[in-house]
Amino acid sequence: MTTLLERPTAASAGPVVDKRVVRRRLGPGKRIPFSLAIGPLLLVGLWCLLSATGRLDPRTLSEPWVVVETARDLIENGRLQDALQTSAVRAFAGLGLGTAIGTLLALVSGLSRVGEAVIDGPIQVKRAIPTLALLPLLVLWLGITEEMKIVTIALAVMLPVYIHTHNGLRTIDGRYAELAETVDIGRPQFIRDIVLPGAMPGFLLGMRFAVTTALLSLVVVEQINATSGIGYMIHLASSYGQTEIIVVGLVVYALLGLAADGLVRTIERKALAWRRTLG
Amino acid sequence: MATDAGLTTGQLEDRTAVRVERLHRSFNEAGGVLNGLDLDIAPGEFVALIGRSGSGKSTLLRALAGLDRDVAGHGSIDVPDRVSVVFQDSRLLPWRRILDNVAFGLRGRDARRRGEEALAEVGLAGRERSWPHELSGGEQQRAALARSLVRDPELLLADEPFGALDALTRMRMHILLKRLCAVHRPSVLLVTHDVDEAIVLADRVIVLVDGVVSSDIHIDLGERRSPGDPRFASLRTRLLAELGVEDDHEAIDTQDRKAAS
């Protein structure tokens, strides 16, 4: 339906009339400020309400204030920091190793036909096997060690990095390579100035998946056979029915994930400034 | 056309910047795109190459640019050492700022300064730090021109460089290109499908039909060329006829009727 609006604007003194034809809005309309925070806050509010009225059994889920208190205790006696440090080291070591391997393989496979023939096939096979299914084998090979945990995370992280970087490389516009040929640059400069920046968007997309994958793998390796770290803390708490510690652990995992994702996004904003649109 | 003061002997006047002899190129077994083409371009000469789509214009240009590695064929090509190419798209690297695009591949300590000068020459001074996407289509193409000229080319190859621009911008680019060529005096091979553009810019217009030069016309309309000039109009009619376009609606109607029957 078409409506006819006639409304004087208050801003100016003169007889300015804003007369327009307005159609009924079908889209969702304007954004609500801080809309992202509203849902989580409502959930926490509901949690408080249910706990305060006793509807929520502490054995199912501890009261929010108990969780906060527990977090403070865990920080005061240093357990949380220790666990966090152990977990963070594992996650970032695995992430770093996996990213390095994935990027290197993607470059070799993307830049040479021989490399592609040798590397791409095994990666696609590896892709079909969930990395976590390799755990028994990795435990046999490396034992229940830190190396095993880091290698598991690295193996999982390698895939998204490889796939997206490789795809980024392969989708670089061939016209840019042609241009590079006309300005007479060598292969090293071609790689530095065309290939790497051209593959950067793909690489960073891969990194965002990689961060999530690293965290997922971290959770698994820590819960199966660890004696330290956030996952171990949660696992132990589960045995004793301490839901408040479990919640603290989950919050820490969430913070780790958010921090890592934020880091990648910051790098993305800096590295891809050229992609930013005018709007 | 200005003459080179350095040329005194008859022998030197014979030299050519570009010499193409019996050039064959084909993309499949069925038939060649270039069929024994011969072409000479003198130093500083501006040659426009027109032809219908599929006539082999771009194939020839790419052969001269050394970009037809995988195309079958034979024949001989001589080009100068310094060859620059301007493409239909500006082909600015989106991840490099304008100055870095212009100076891309330049060696030496004064690369940036030369890039800045080239940008100033095409009227883009002050846009050094812009990203390519922040420039309009015409500005991007001017930056591409700066990138090709900063290399001080002896031969400038341009493949429909203004084809994607609007008519007004294109006219301004014609003036700019003419001025730049007068200063730098490279040999130019401009591929275009725009007959007017060819007549406005070139010293010589070459029509390509079925992979060979079907006519080679010197343009002697002086420096200021206006489409209002009757000689301009007759040249245009002639060139269009060469391309198989009759400047006559009846002829087109007849063709349509023939095609329909």
Report the complex ipTM: 0.81
Instruction: Evaluate whether residue A113 is within a structural domain.
Output: yes
From B143, B101, B138, select the one nearest B120 (Cα to Cα).
B143
What domains lie within chain B, and their CATH numbers?
A: 14-82+154-226 (3.40.50.300), 93-152 (no CATH)
pLDDT at residue number B61? 93
Structure-block tokens of residue B64? 């001269």
| A19, A5 Cβ separation under 8 angstroms | yes
Alpha carbon separation from B148 to B14, B84, B112, B122, B184 (Å, rounded): 27, 5, 14, 11, 11
| B50, B214 Cβ separation under 8 angstroms | no
Spatial distance between the Cα atoms of A123 and A103, rounded to a whole number of angstroms: 13
Which residues in chain B have Cβ-Cβ distances shorter than 8 Å to A194? 93
Q: What angle do CA A107, A110, A116 make, to 5 degrees?
A: 110
Å from A117 to nearest chain B CA?
22
pLDDT at residue number A271? 85
| Total count of domains within chain A | 1
Of all residues in chain A, the one with the smallest CA distance to B91 is: A176
Instruction: Evaluate whether residue A38 is within a structural domain.
Output: no
Instruction: Evaluate whether residue A99 is within a structural domain.
Output: yes
Instruction: Evaluate whether residue A163 is within a structural domain.
Output: yes
Instruction: Give the model's confidence band at A58: pLDDT under 50 very low, under 70 low, under 90 confident, else very high.
Output: confident
Which residues in chain A have Cβ-Cβ distances shorter than 8 Å to B131? 273-274
Any B CB within 8 A of A181 CB: yes
Once rounded to an integer, what is the mean pLDDT over residues A200-217?
93
Contacts of residue B7, defined as CB under 8 A and 6 or more positions apart, other chains included, come to B13
Which CATH number goes with the domain that contains A182? 1.10.3720.10
Å from B22 to nearest chain A CA?
24
Give bridge partners of residue A20 from the DSSP assignment.
A5
Instruction: Evaluate whether residue A216 is within a structural domain.
Output: yes
Å from B101 to nearest chain A CA?
10
Contacts of residue B218, defined as CB under 8 A and 6 or more positions apart, other chains included, come to B203, B204
Contacts A–B by Cβ distance under 8 A: 49
Instruction: Evaluate whether residue A47 is within a structural domain.
Output: no
Alpha carbon separation from B253 to A141, A252, B53 (Å, rounded): 82, 78, 22
Any B CB within 8 A of A177 CB: no
Give bridge partners of residue A3 from the DSSP assignment.
A22
Whole-number average pLDDT of chain A: 88
In single-letter form, the type of residue at position B141 comes to Q
Instruction: Evaluate whether residue A112 is within a structural domain.
Output: yes
Three-state helix/strand/coil letters over A18-78? EEEEEECCCCCCCCCCCHHHHHHHHHHHHHHHHHHCCCCCCCCCCCHHHHHHHHHHHHHCC
Strands (E), chain B: 18-26, 34-41, 46-51, 72-78, 83-86, 155-159, 187-192, 204-209, 212-218
Instruction: Evaluate whether residue A110 is within a structural domain.
Output: yes
Asked if the Cβ–Cβ distance from B87 to A183 is below 8 Å, we say: no
Once rounded to an integer, what is the mean pLDDT over residues B61-68?
92
Q: What is the span of the domain harbouring residue A193?
A: 65-273
| A94, A150 Cβ separation under 8 angstroms | yes
Length of chain B: 261
Asked if the Cβ–Cβ distance from B105 to A175 is below 8 Å, we say: no
Asked which of A226-230, B18-22, B44-48, B220-224 is least confident by mean pLDDT, the reply is B220-224
Tens-digit pLDDT profile for residues A115-171? 999 999 999 998 898 888 888 999 999 988 899 999 999 999 999 999 999 999 999
Q: Do strands B212-218 and B83-86 pair parallel, antiparallel, or not at all (unpaired)? A: unpaired
CB atoms within 10 A of CB A10: 7
Any B CB within 8 A of A189 CB: yes
CB atoms within 10 A of CB A27: 5
Å from A35 to nearest chain B CA?
32
Asked which of A271-275, B88-92, B123-127, B160-164 is least confident by mean pLDDT, the reply is A271-275
pLDDT at residue number A109? 93
Å from B252 to nearest chain A CA?
38
Question: pLDDT higher for A3 or B55?
Answer: B55
- Coil, helix or strand at residue A172: coil
Which residues in chain A have Cβ-Cβ distances shorter than 8 Å to B84? 182
Which residues in chain A have Cβ-Cβ distances shorter than 8 Å to B146? none
Percent of chain B with pLDDT over 90: 61
